Amino acid sequence: MKDATDEFVQSLASPIPVLACHFHFLSDIGEDLLEEGHNHLRELFRKAGLLPQLRAFSRQQGRNLGKGIDQGRDGLRLWLAESDQNHRIPEGEAGMTIVRSLAQWILDYRADGSDQGFPFDLPYRDLYHRCLGVSWATEAFLREPPEDAKVRKALAKLHGILRPVRCDIPRFHPVGVALDRRAKLFAELRRALRLEEKDKAPGSDCRRDAGKLNDIRSAVEKLIASLRKRRPERGPAKDLRAAIDLILAHLDRHGPHLWGHVIPMPPECGGGIRLVDRTNDILESWFGSLKHGERRRSGRKILTQDFEQLSPAAALAQNLDRLDYVEILCGSLANLPTAFARLDVVNRHRPSPAKQTGVNSETASLSTRDKRLVRIPALERRITAAALSR
């Protein structure tokens, strides 16, 4: 595609700029840089069966608590309010709930992401770090084991479930280290491109935004120089060298198309400058506006079922505010009811989609109420403090 556009532009009497979407450029680098390691880590978790074991463990502890779950949750809150210098788990329902919450905190690993999808989110990397943290924390808790035999047994069982992430077979550690190293390089490029920032609203100061573009370009050029300097010429750092080469190759090939968003306007068009968007996000955000409209119509926050039942053709209704579309569709708005009636005749006898049944097995291991509880910042601080004390 790049070669084709370059050839086309060269054939024009007045060349036009060819711009690459910064978001898709970064996403493409991220996939090439991180996909193999992330998939490898996911496969290791699948082979070890850690997630099914953690879900089963959490459900079993919930059944063991029974009606004492509310009292246990209160005990967990009291334990979190205490000083984290004492790495001792209490007895009874509180202790059982704490051990269960350690497993649930791991199961909530997707909370570390930003809902932007791969490669901007690396869920199995987050899962790996949470497993390591709880594994180290359980060691600290077992150094001063709880007197309650049930709590002590549950804590030891959780530690045993997490054992594979620290063993040589399967080898989680080298895969996790390599993925961390590549993720840091990707984060550097993302910071240089400033794609974590929201774009300015239309009508903002063009000259100020043009200055921001210059700053971004300068930051990318500094990063290129830094990567070339840090690139190991030889030695055992083969993966780091390959990662840096991959980023530099993308920048060399597509770098010229990352800039040129400041377009000078001719005097007959008012002069001055215009800025082209750095990404295609505005063009691709239409689905978000459709969700917003459906949420306002229904009053529901979760729209999964609504969109499963929504006809794909409903999206075309947004075009009814365009006169040319209405004219092609039915001539005028006065003929719109007749056009819809004809659609109903065609679709009336079609079978409706089958309703999905069944219960999500994960809800039992991490309910909404438990999810709120394990996302209390004090729990993560407790786990981190215990892990660092091992």
Q: What is the mean pLDDT of residues 170-198?
A: 88
For the cut 80, the answer to whether the pLDDT of residue 203 exceeds it is no
Domain that holds residue 330: 286-347
Q: Is 297 in the same domain as 382? A: no
Rounded Cα distance, 273 and 264, in Å: 4
Which pLDDT value is given to residue 4? 87
d(CA 53, CA 162): 9
Cα–Cα distance for residue pair 45/28, rounded to 1 Å: 25
Residues 6-63 pLDDT 10s:
888 888 888 788 888 999 999 999 999 999 999 999 999 999 999 999 999 999 999 9
Residue pLDDT, tens place only, 258-276 = 998 888 888 887 888 888 8
Total count of domains within the chain = 2
- Please check the confidence at residue 162 and state whether its pLDDT lies above 80: yes
Share of the chain above pLDDT 90, in %: 49
> What is the Cβ-side half-sphere exposure of residue 321, based on CA atoms within 13 angstroms?
2
Residues 37 and 167 in one domain: yes
Q: Is residue 118 part of a domain?
A: yes
CA 45 vs CA 30, 94, 123: distances in Å: 22, 30, 12
Minimal CA–CA distance to 380: which of 187, 108, 56?
108
Indicate the average pLDDT of the chain. 86
- Same structural domain, 118 and 51: yes
14 part of a folded domain: no
Residue 344, classified by CB atoms within 10 Å of its CB into exposed (0-12), middle (13-18) or buried (19+), is: exposed
Tell me, yes or no, whether 107 and 147 share the same domain.
yes
Are residues 109 and 151 both part of a single domain? yes
Mean pLDDT of 57-72: 92
In a domain, 181, yes or no: no
Q: What pLDDT does 361 receive? A: 30
pLDDT at 199 over 70: no
Q: Lowest-pLDDT range, 17-26, 77-86, 125-134?
A: 77-86
151 and 98 inside one domain: yes
- Indicate the pTM of the whole model: 0.75
Instruction: Give me the mean pLDDT over the 72-90 stretch.
Output: 86
* pLDDT of 106 over the 60 cut: yes
Do 106 and 137 touch, CB atoms closer than 8 A?
no
The model's confidence at residue 307, banded by pLDDT at 50, 70 and 90, is confident
- What is the per-residue pLDDT for 283? 65
Q: Does residue 74 lie within any of the structural domains?
A: yes
Residues 163 and 105 grouped into a single domain? yes
* 66 occurs within a structural domain: yes
Position 115 pLDDT exceeds 90 = no
Assess whether 108 and 155 both reside in one domain.
yes
* pLDDT at residue number 364: 54
Residues 319, 377 within the same domain: no
Can you give the pLDDT at residue 360?
Answer: 34
